[in-house]
């Protein structure tokens, strides 16, 4: 099975995604394409990195993940391919692989430079079709990673503020807001006990186990599906409830008698 | 062929859909995934039930339909799996299977409780990934439905108002508004003859056979693709033309000399 | 491999796309479905024709491309199937194949009329499910094109203004605006040299090689991925920068000493 996933900010209506698939289908006739998303906000490398972080390792070894959120297309930014924990990724060198490289620090990363493996004419505006698609096809067919180009040791990694443990709790940052308006933080869920107090800006709430521990419409915090603290509204949007400045800090104070922190 | 369809309200940009696919691809390496939709309005169980009703039976026997519109995730609502007319479905027990269970009243339904078949750690917020994906993979591989958990006879079914025949016509209700602004009713198309008068609120129109029986921009009613009466505007939106209260009634008066009603 | 792509204006939330896929999956159990797009603006045949033009030929011979942007459904507009350069297409006869037929003028085109190959009951509103899906399945299985119906020599082709070369440059028209706000023209990229002056309405810019030849936020023109001149803003939207009337003309004046024009 030659399974290839796609994550882009292309939308679909212009046919650009289909062009990428078409190039790969010609080179790997039996490829299976899984759309991850084409709705990443335009050029939002950080959002793409977060989304990718949630699925790349859930796919089996041998899967090829294509990621094209590429505001620097046509500049001298490099095109990368890598083997991380047995999964392959092709992506521009702009930080979109940050969470992959954190999770798999011994990933084997190369710069895609071998023109013989790319489309004969490479445009300056559409490397998804002309560079990443043929590179992904090469890997899906079992081609060697090192055929694509030379080893790279300095792939771009986005800086991230870490959550910090403090005497009576911890603090962290909102790192993603999802479709439901959940505010996803970088605070590990196992740092935080049930009933701990959570403050974001001037808004206070408490940690619960699950949404239904509060009434519909109530604010809450819990450990979300990525293993970190999330601030949510049951059947509603925390984004609409909380005033969010850029990189808003989240403070947690352990509950009385809480042994977790 | 192990074909699995997905219907969710996840959107795609957060990577949640890809996480569900990744879990299934690891368990069933040659699975084919068909996206039905990820654009169901958040938590709109009724809309999801309507959409599902239009395709689940068009797929061949053996298909696994995954439906995750699940505002009750993490509560004590059950997770269901069923065999309906040879197709398998996995979904939360919140009424999203209503139209399936109406069409296949002898469906075999179980509650998904066998932790050995689920992800080792089940989050409280993402059962699509942790419960429904592995359950679907089990079924796609030919695993027994009864392995997943005990038989259930009381799956949630949403109440629905039926259309009613009356001395000189019938009345029914708008049950769905689609992307084009078509108002889909629950009135069977074969209750209604060509040229019958249709009233919705204070708006009147007539039944025709096809859109092109009226001029572009004109209001009309016809039997739609689901076999029921729809109110439409040719190359336009009936939703923008008709004032819609919640569950607005539709009245049909048979045309003079009409033998259909 | 039986690969079928889909391009529609259905959106996905109503389940209409899944109905089309289900019909085809029943007829061709091992079909691979690639979503091109379901986000074409409603009834925008010209936009669909442009999108299709960018990928249909990148897929390998034998691929079946299903295109259902069909504001005339239920009227007497014909349904078409064709073999163009080894790829198959099924689509309404409304001009959506314009760019295919321009690129493959010797395409073999038939009208789909053989009811035995369609769904037993053909609705007046959903030929994607009832006509195009079974016709596409027939072709994906290797069925003969001529089985579908009689040869057609007069498929609808949309009129298009051509770009024109002039003594000191050329002029053309914006033919598509993409998701990024790029204004795609019909002026061949090889008519235009680097540094040529471009005027659109009252706005002036210059031709460069790649986005990064200007500063972020600056307007530019370059040869885009479809081989024609595009007017763009680096990391921004030209659509928001330029006042666009319908079919706005673009004028290019060759740079001093430019040998290209």
Q: Check if the beta carbon of residue A17 is closer than 8 Å to that of residue C36.
A: yes
Q: Check if the beta carbon of residue A20 is closer than 8 Å to that of residue A46.
A: no
Q: CA nearest B44 in A: which residue?
A: A235
Number of A–C residue contacts, CB under 8 Å: 111
Distance from C-alpha of C116 to C-alpha of C97, rounded to nearest angstrom: 25
Q: Check if the beta carbon of residue B102 is closer than 8 Å to that of residue B117.
A: no
Please choose, from the candidates A242, A253, A250, the residue with its C-alpha nearest in 3D space to the C-alpha of residue A182: A242
pLDDT of res. B201:
86
In chain A, % of residues over pLDDT 70: 96
| Closest Cα in chain C, distance from residue B52 (Å) | 6
What is the pLDDT of chain C when averaged over all its residues? Answer: 95
Q: Which chains touch C (3 or more CB pairs under 8 A)?
A: A, B
pLDDT of res. A258:
57
Q: Which residues of B touch C19 (CB under 8 A)?
A: 54-55, 58, 225
Find the chain B residues whose C-beta atoms sit closer than 8 A to any C-beta of C. Answer: 1, 3, 5, 7, 32, 34-41, 47, 50-60, 63, 176, 178-180, 209-212, 222-225, 230, 235
pLDDT of res. B234:
97
Q: Answer yes or no: do A124 and C210 touch at CB < 8 A.
A: yes
pLDDT tens digits, residue range C202-257?
Answer: 899 999 999 999 999 999 999 999 999 999 999 999 999 987 765 588 999 987 65
Find the chain A residues whose C-beta atoms sit closer than 8 A to any C-beta of B. Answer: 1, 3, 5, 7, 32, 34-41, 47, 50-60, 63, 176, 178-180, 209-212, 222-225, 230, 235
Q: Which residues of C touch A16 (CB under 8 A)?
A: 54, 178, 225
Which residues does A256 contact at the CB level (< 8 Å), separation at least 6? none
Residue C162 is given by DSSP the state P
pLDDT of res. C55:
98
CB atoms within 10 A of CB A255: 18
pLDDT of res. A42:
96
Q: Which chains touch A (3 or more CB pairs under 8 A)?
A: B, C
Q: How confident is the model at residue C14 (pLDDT cuts 50, 70, 90)?
A: very high
Q: How confident is the model at residue C261 (pLDDT cuts 50, 70, 90)?
A: very low
Which among A10, A15, A38 is the top mutation candidate for probing chain C, defined by the most C β-carbons within 10 Å of its own β-carbon? A15
Over its C-alpha atoms, chain B yields an Rg (Å, rounded) of 21
Distance from C-alpha of C172 to C-alpha of C151, rounded to nearest angstrom: 35
Q: Answer yes or no: do A125 and C59 touch at CB < 8 A.
A: no
pLDDT tens digits, residue range A93-137?
Answer: 999 999 999 999 999 999 999 999 999 999 999 999 999 999 999
* Predicted TM-score (pTM) of this structure: 0.96
* DSSP letter for each residue of chain B: --EEEEEES--STTSHHHHHHHHHHHHSTTPEEEEEES-SPTT-HHHHHHHHHTTTTTSPTT-EEEEE--TTTTSSPPEEEEEETTEEEEEESSSTTHHHHHH-TT-EEEE---GGGS-SS--SS-HIIIIIHHHHHHHHTT--GGGS--B-S-------PPPEEETTEEEEEEEEE-TT--EEEEEEGGG--TT-EEEETTEEEEB-SSGGGS-TT-EEEEE-TTSEEEEEETTB-STTTS---TT-EEEEEPPTT----
Q: Which of C34, C179, C212 sits opposite A18 (nearest CB)?
A: C34
Residue A189 is given by DSSP the state G
Q: How confident is the model at residue A1 (pLDDT cuts 50, 70, 90)?
A: very high
pLDDT of res. A201:
86
Q: Who has greater pLDDT, A256 or A49?
A: A49
Q: Answer yes or no: do A54 and B15 touch at CB < 8 A.
A: yes
Please choose, from the candidates B78, B4, B91, the residue with its C-alpha nearest in 3D space to the C-alpha of residue B40: B91
* DSSP letter for each residue of A24-51: HHHHSTTPEEEEEES-SPTT-HHHHHHH
Over its C-alpha atoms, chain C yields an Rg (Å, rounded) of 21
Which residue in the block uniquely carries the two structure tokens 């699950």? A210
| Closest Cα in chain A, distance from residue C115 (Å) | 31
| Closest Cα in chain C, distance from residue B174 (Å) | 15
Q: How many residues does chain B have?
A: 261
pLDDT of res. A256:
61
pLDDT of res. C256:
61
Please choose, from the candidates A111, A87, A101, the residue with its C-alpha nearest in 3D space to the C-alpha of residue A49: A101
Residue A192 has which token pair? 């935080």
What is the pLDDT of chain A when averaged over all its residues? Answer: 95
Residue C180 has which token pair? 């990024």
Q: What is the mean pLDDT of residues C62-73?
A: 97
Q: Answer yes or no: do B16 and A212 touch at CB < 8 A.
A: no
Q: Answer yes or no: do A224 and B72 touch at CB < 8 A.
A: no
Greatest alpha-carbon span in chain A:
67
Check pLDDT > 60 for residue C167: yes
Q: Answer yes or no: do B71 and A179 touch at CB < 8 A.
A: no
Distance from C-alpha of B201 to C-alpha of B132, rounded to nearest angstrom: 42
Q: Which residues of B touch A52 (CB under 8 A)?
A: 15
| Closest Cα in chain A, distance from residue B38 (Å) | 10
Q: Check if the beta carbon of residue B198 is closer than 8 Å to that of residue B217.
A: no
Residue segments in chain B with a per-residue pLDDT below the cut of 70: 244-247, 256-261
Q: Answer yes or no: do C178 and A17 touch at CB < 8 A.
A: no
Q: What is the mean pLDDT of residues A32-49?
A: 98
In chain C, % of residues over pLDDT 90: 92
């Amino acid at each position: 099975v030659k399974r290839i996933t796609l994550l882009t900010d292309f939308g679909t209506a212009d046919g650009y995604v289909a062009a990428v698939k078409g190039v790969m289908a010609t080179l790997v006739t039996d490829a299976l394409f899984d759309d991850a998303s084409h709705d990443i906000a335009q050029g939002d490398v950080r959002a793409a990195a977060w989304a990718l972080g949630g699925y790349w390792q859930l796919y089996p070894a041998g899967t090829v993940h294509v990621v094209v959120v590429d505001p620097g297309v046509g500049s001298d930014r490099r095109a990368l391919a890598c083997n991380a924990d047995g999964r392959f990724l092709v992506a521009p060198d702009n930080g979109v692989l940050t969470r992959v490289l954190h999770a798999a620090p011994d990933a084997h990363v190369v710069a895609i430079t071998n023109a013989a493996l790319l489309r004969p004419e490479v445009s300056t505006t559409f490397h998804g079709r002309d560079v990443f698609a043929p590179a992904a096809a090469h890997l899906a067919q079992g081609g060697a990673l090192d055929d694509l180009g030379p080893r790279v040791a300095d792939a771009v990694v986005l800086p991230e503020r870490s959550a910090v443990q403090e005497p009576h709790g911890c603090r962290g940052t909102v790192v993603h807001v999802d479709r439901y308006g959940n505010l996803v933080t970088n605070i590990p869920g196992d740092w935080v006990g049930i009933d701990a107090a959570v403050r974001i800006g001037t808004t206070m709430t408490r940690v619960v186990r699950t949404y239904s521990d509060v009434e519909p419409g109530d604010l809450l915090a819990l450990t979300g599906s990525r293993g970190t603290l999330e601030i949510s509204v049951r059947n509603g949007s925390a984004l609409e409830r909380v005033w969010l400045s850029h990189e808003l800090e989240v403070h947690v104070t352990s509950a009385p008698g809480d042994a977790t922190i």
